[in-house]
Structure 1
Amino acid sequence: MIQEPVPMLLGRVLLRAVRAHAALEGRCHLPPSLHVGIPGADVRSLELDTGEGLDLALRTEMLEAMTRAHLAQSVVPLVWLTRHPEGPDLEDLAWAAAAGQAGAELGVRLDLVVVTRRSWRDPRSGVGRSWTRLRQP
């Protein structure tokens, strides 16, 4: 769970995730997707079907599988969902619970954030940032 004050390096990584999502999405609405990795570097992504009704065990297994390659390289990845701002909050919490469970089983802390075109937010703590206009680096 991300708490205030957000470490500067983590804040930069999350801003990079927001910028990347905004650049990909443009004016169209992409389907919700799960991402594991380091934004702007090695990322594994999976498009989600919100009608699938995945349970905690399956979500946890999916996250563990997506995370193992990073952990094998001694890198603890970030987990994030990209979606339209008016997406389902319950789905966010379900994935956050799975990230917590997967992290516990793998022996690491996995943070999950929800990323939209203009913001990021930790669904468990409510900590996040939003921008009205993003500047490219």
Structure 2
Amino acid sequence: MAPPDPDPARQRALLLREAVRRHAAGERRRRFAPVLHVGRPGVRERTVGAALTATDHALRCDLVAAMATRSGVDDPLVWVTRPGDLDREDVDVAWAAATRAAAAEAGQSWTCVVVTRRGWCDPVTGEGRTWARLRD
């Protein structure tokens, strides 16, 4: 068994690639409601519907905080899967704001990224990565 990668940036990049890979392999519909994921892709994660119609900022903050504490992993990844391209949408900004607020309250530094079939993007910083064809 190989030792864990000591480079946190590389480890995060691998986790985000895995989130994209799992989403592309698992979601075949063209249209579906956004889903919030908290944890580690392929290891342990919790999910909840991420539509904005039934939530406000305070409820989204509470959901992120509860899911992060119950995820069972240290420094959980927070990501929203949704259809379409990686252009910034209201749902992306709303969950990113809730994640930042919940993280600040918990004294953590979680970030929320958006994941589609082709890549991921941080709606706050604009950092991201896309793939024309994701291979195992």
- The bucket for the TM-score relative to the shorter chain is 0.7 to 0.9
Where does the alignment leave 5 or more consecutive residues of structure 1 unmatched? 1-5
Asked if 1:106 corresponds to 2:106, the answer is yes
Q: Is the 8 A contact 2:38 2:45 kept in 1?
A: yes
TM-score of the two chains, using structure 2 as the length reference: 0.86
CA shift, 1:25, in A, is 1.0
Distance 1:74 1:129, change over 3 A: closer
CA shift, 1:48, in A, is 2.7
Q: Share of identical aligned residues, percent?
A: 43
Alignment-derived partner of residue 93 in structure 2: 93
Q: Distance in 1 between matches of 2:112 and 2:65?
A: 13
Deviations 1:67-87 (CA, angstroms, capped at 9, x unpaired): 1124xx561100000001258
Q: How big is the alpha-carbon RMSD for the aligned residues of Structure 1 and Structure 2?
A: 1.8
Alignment-derived partner of residue 119 in structure 1: 119
Q: Distance in 1 between matches of 2:29 and 2:133?
A: 14
Higher relative contact order (CA 8 A, sep 6+): 1
Alignment-derived partner of residue 81 in structure 2: 82
TM-score of the two chains, using structure 1 as the length reference: 0.85
Q: Distance in 2 between matches of 1:125 and 1:63?
A: 20
CA shift, 1:8, in A, is 1.2
Q: Distance in 2 between matches of 1:30 and 1:20?
A: 16
Quick one: which amino acid aligns to residue 17 of structure 1?
Answer: A
How many aligned residue pairs are there? 128
CA shift, 1:91, in A, is 1.6
